[in-house]
């Protein structure tokens, strides 16, 4: 049975806040947050078990590898494992536990026997890189290698396993640098405005991205700049490049991402709205004597239909018409579409959002006196 102290929730929270203050004071004195943690926890008397309790459930990047072992951990039984790591000339690496025992001497004899056998021929062909320790052997690396080593691990009690289960190493927690949400929000804002998605709710989009497993794996686990506890000014250009590439791929696969995550309004457009936009895009290109490919025009039209400003303006107008019991067709929005396309493809001329909404409403059908059909105020 473990004799590690058990903290109540209130005590754990107080200890967590205190240690986090110490970490924030310590970190500026080191170039890497892990080095700062190594120094701090080697100076404090907290054990690994105690720190695991304190940090359980907190989405925080922390390393207490340098903390002390608890007395119970020091006294509990150890288990030794003889391991083999092997890579062939195809670059395929395998890991095997050859034996588990508490008898270190016998495991060392097994390791020596494996070396003597040289079953893969790497010793004869490549030579020995390291063998100055009876618990570790490594050949030189040339078209493959083999390594044998003995590891020591604690045999954990049920209580210790339960504690381990509550640590971030075994919980699905996306851990980001402290200022990542702010940085991501700014990057999303810049990206969407530059790529015809309008003024979306960038904070909602950032939250959706940060909760996505693929985003976390791609942007945090696979990039070197995201390992810091706080992103530095020198990291930002790399963050913007990597995240912008990710957004481009994501929106190519899921064009309605900003809509489904609630960052842009969802609108049921009248049938034929995309065709109207394609016509407007072609007309604008001809006016400026610019070539326009059909695939590019359709892609731009799709993007405009996902544009938050366009959707908001059309959506408000459609809601007003529905309230008045009136209907309209896509062609009734042609003038508004022409103006939106012109301003969208010439950003310096783009009007404010409230002007766009007002423009959309002023160009929708008014009831005709003879009730023979809608007319468009131009």
Structure tokens at 4: 């590690």
Q: Which range, of 16-25, 47-56, 212-221, 253-262, averages the lowest pLDDT?
A: 47-56
Q: What is the pLDDT, as a whole number, of residue 368? A: 43
pLDDT in tens, 38-64: 999 999 988 888 888 888 878 788 888
Q: How many CB atoms lie within 10 A of CB 289?
A: 6
Predicted local confidence at residue 32, as pLDDT: 82
Q: pLDDT at position 170, please?
A: 82
- The pLDDT tens digits of the residues spanning 340-368 come to 998 888 755 454 444 544 554 454 544 44
Please state, in angstroms and as integers, the Cα–Cα distance from residue 212 to each residue in 171, 218, 250, 257, 269, following that order: 15, 10, 12, 12, 29
Q: What pLDDT sits at residue 377?
A: 37
Residue 239: phi and psi, rounded to 5, are -60, -45
Q: Report the mean per-residue pLDDT for the chain.
A: 86
CA distance 311 to 313: 6
* Residue that wins the pLDDT comparison between 95 and 169: 95
pLDDT at 126: 93
What confidence tier does 199 reach under pLDDT thresholds 50, 70, 90?
very high
Enumerate the β-bridge partners of residue 146.
Answer: 86
Average pLDDT over residues 127-152: 95
Retrieve residue 331's tokens: 């062609």
Cα–chain-centroid distance for residue 189?
17
- 151-164, pLDDT tens digit by residue? 998 888 888 788 78
The answer on pLDDT for 259 being more than 80 is: yes
The H or E element spanning position 148 is strand 145-154
Residue 333 region by backbone torsions, left for phi larger than 0, else alpha for psi between -120 and 50, else beta: alpha
Reply yes or no on whether the pLDDT at 14 is more than 60.
Answer: yes
The pTM of the full predicted model, rounded to 2 decimals, is 0.60
More confident of the two residues 206 and 345: 206
Q: CA-CA distance, 208 to 251, in Å (whole number)?
A: 14
Q: What is the mean pLDDT of residues 282-308?
A: 89
Nearest-angstrom CA–CA distance, 336 and 297: 17
């Amino acid at each position: 049975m473990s004799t590690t102290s058990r903290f109540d929730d209130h005590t754990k929270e107080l200890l967590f806040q205190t240690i986090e203050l110490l970490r924030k004071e310590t970190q500026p004195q080191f170039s890497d947050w892990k080095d700062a943690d190594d120094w701090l926890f080697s100076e404090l008397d907290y054990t690994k078990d105690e720190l695991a309790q304190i940090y359980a459930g907190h989405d925080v990047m922390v390393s207490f590898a340098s903390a002390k072992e608890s007395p119970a951990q020091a006294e509990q039984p150890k288990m030794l494992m003889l391991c083999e790591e092997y890579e062939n000339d195809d670059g395929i690496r395998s890991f095997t536990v050859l034996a588990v025992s508490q008898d270190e001497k016998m495991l060392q004899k097994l390791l020596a026997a494996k070396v003597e056998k040289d079953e893969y021929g790497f010793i004869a062909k490549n030579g020995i890189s390291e063998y100055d320790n009876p618990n570790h052997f490594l050949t030189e690396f040339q078209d493959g290698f083999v390594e044998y080593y003995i590891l020591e691990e604690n045999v954990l009690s049920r209580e210790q396993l339960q504690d381990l289960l509550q640590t971030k190493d075994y919980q699905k927690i996306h851990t980001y640098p402290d200022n990542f949400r702010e940085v991501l929000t700014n990057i999303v804002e810049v990206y969407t405005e530059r790529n015809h998605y309008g003024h979306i709710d960038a904070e909602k989009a950032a939250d959706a991205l940060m909760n996505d497993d693929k985003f976390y794996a791609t942007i945090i686990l696979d990039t070197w700049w995201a390992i810091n506890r706080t992103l530095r000014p020198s990291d930002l250009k790399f963050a913007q490049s990597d995240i912008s590439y990710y957004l481009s791929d994501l929106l190519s696969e899921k064009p309605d991402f900003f809509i489904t995550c609630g960052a842009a309004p969802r609108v049921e457009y009248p049938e034929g709205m995309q065709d109207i936009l394609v016509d407007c895009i072609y007309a604008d290109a001809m006016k400026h004597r610019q070539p326009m490919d059909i695939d590019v025009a359709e892609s731009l039209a799709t993007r405009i239909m996902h544009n938050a400003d366009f959707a908001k303006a059309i959506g408000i107008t459609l809601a007003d018409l529905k309230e008045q019991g009136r209907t309209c067709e896509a062609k009734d929005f042609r003038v508004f579409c022409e103006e939106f396309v012109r301003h969208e493809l010439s950003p310096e001329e783009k009007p404010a959002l409230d002007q766009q909404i007002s423009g959309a409403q002023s160009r929708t059908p008014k009831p005709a006196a003879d009730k023979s059909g809608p007319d468009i105020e131009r």
